[in-house]
C-alpha cells in the first residue's frame, strides 16, 4: 500500500487532483454498487422503457397500417358506388328509351286512328257537299228564272 501511495505522490497530476491510494477502494465500491443497481434497478428500468416504447412508438406503425387499410377500403367503396351509379344510369336510360318507344308507338297508332277518322269525316262532308251542290244546281235553273222574273217585273 505504501508503494501505491508513493506512486500517486510521485506523479504530479495525481497530487494536483487530490488522488491517493483510496481511489482503488472507491473504484471497487463503485463497481459493486453499479452491479447491484444493475441487477435490481437497471434491468427493470430497461424492461419498462422497452415495454413503453412498444406501446407508444411501435403502435404508430400499426396505426399507419390501419390507416392504409381504411384508405384501401374507402377507395374500394367509392369504386363500388361509382360502378353502381353507372349501372343505375344505364338501367334508367334503358327504361326511359323503352317508355319513349312504347309511347311513340302508342302516339303513332292514335295518330293513324285520328287521321282515319279525319279522312272518313272529310269524305262524309265532301259527299254531303256534293249532294247539296247538285241540289242547288238542279234548283239553279228555276231560281234563275224566278230571279229574272222578279227583276223584269
Mind giving me the DSSP string for 16-55? HHT--THHHHHHHHHHHHHHHHIIIIIHHHHHHHHHHHHH
Residue labelled with grid coordinates 406501446 = 55
94 assigned to some structural domain: yes
Which segments of the chain does DSSP mark as H helices, in order? 2-10, 12-17, 22-37, 43-152
Band of pLDDT at residue 29, cut at 50, 70 and 90: very high
pLDDT at 32 over 80: yes
149 assigned to some structural domain: no
86 assigned to some structural domain: yes
57 assigned to some structural domain: yes
Q: Averaged over 82-90, what is the pLDDT?
A: 94
pLDDT at 107 over 70: yes
**What torsion, rounded to 10 degrees, do the Cα atoms 72, 77, 78, 79 define?**
90
CB 9, CB 15: distance < 8 Å: yes
CB 20, CB 5: distance < 8 Å: yes
125 assigned to some structural domain: no
pLDDT at 8 over 70: no
pTM of the model: 0.42
Question: Into how many domains does the chain fold?
Answer: 1
Whole-number Å distance between alpha carbons of 16 and 146: 170
* Parent domain of 101: 2-114
Phi/psi-derived region of residue 20, left when phi > 0, alpha when psi is between -120 and 50, beta in every other case: beta
Give the pLDDT of residue 114. Answer: 94
152 assigned to some structural domain: no
121 assigned to some structural domain: no
Residue 1: partners with Cβ closer than 8 Å, 6 or more residues away: 21
102 assigned to some structural domain: yes
Residue labelled with grid coordinates 424492461 = 47
pLDDT at 10 over 70: no
Amino acid at each position: 500500500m505504501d508503494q501505491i501511495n508513493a506512486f500517486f505522490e510521485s506523479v504530479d497530476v495525481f497530487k494536483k487532483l487530490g488522488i491517493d491510494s483510496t481511489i482503488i477502494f472507491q473504484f471497487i465500491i463503485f463497481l459493486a454498487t453499479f452491479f447491484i443497481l444493475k441487477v435490481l434497478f437497471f434491468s427493470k428500468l430497461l424492461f419498462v422503457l422497452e415495454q413503453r416504447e412498444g406501446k407508444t412508438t411501435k403502435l404508430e406503425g400499426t396505426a399507419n397500417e390501419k390507416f392504409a387499410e381504411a384508405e384501401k377500403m374507402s377507395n374500394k367503396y367509392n369504386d363500388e358506388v361509382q360502378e353502381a351509379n353507372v349501372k343505375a344510369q344505364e338501367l334508367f336510360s334503358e327504361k326511359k328509351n323503352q317508355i319513349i318507344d312504347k309511347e311513340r308507338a302508342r302516339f303513332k297508332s292514335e295518330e293513324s286512328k285520328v287521321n282515319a277518322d279525319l279522312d272518313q269525316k272529310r269524305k262524309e262532308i265532301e259527299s254531303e257537299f256534293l249532294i247539296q251542290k247538285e241540289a242547288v244546281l238542279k234548283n239553279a235553273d228555276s231560281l234563275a228564272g224566278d230571279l229574272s222574273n222578279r227583276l223584269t217585273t
